[in-house]
Amino acid sequence: MFHPEAEAELDALPVKERVAVMHAVEKLAAVGPSLPFPHQSNVKGAERLRELRPRGGRSAWRPLYGRVADTFVVVAVGPEALVDPRRFRRAVAAATKRLDEIEA
């Protein structure tokens, strides 16, 4: 499941990157919380968020997701932290806010 704003962020990516992100989301849906590294990892400084790592971490984009009840929700899509740290922090802040809104 995608938050509407995360879906818009996904749509703004180049086609190859959108495909890679969707494959990562499909892996999460198929395997669930036991999806191993390098396909997902914690987001430092955001205890309720995790990031998918398309192409086993070789993509410059990170879908940020959280769990609401039994559903994984992609709440933001942003650049990888080392590629663009400032925009990654903004994506984390947006993801946290959106996750809070969904849970409220």
Cα dihedral sign, 96-68-31-74: negative
Residue 11 belongs to domain spanning = 4-103
pLDDT tens per residue, range 27-74: 999 999 899 999 999 999 898 999 999 999 999 999 999 999 989 999
- Number of domains forming the structure of the chain: 1
pTM, 2 dp: 0.94
Distance of CA 39 to the CA centre of its chain: 11
Q: Which CATH number goes with the domain that contains 25?
A: 3.30.2310
User: How many CB atoms lie under 10 A from the CB of residue 15?
Assistant: 7
Q: Is the pLDDT of residue 3 over 90?
A: yes
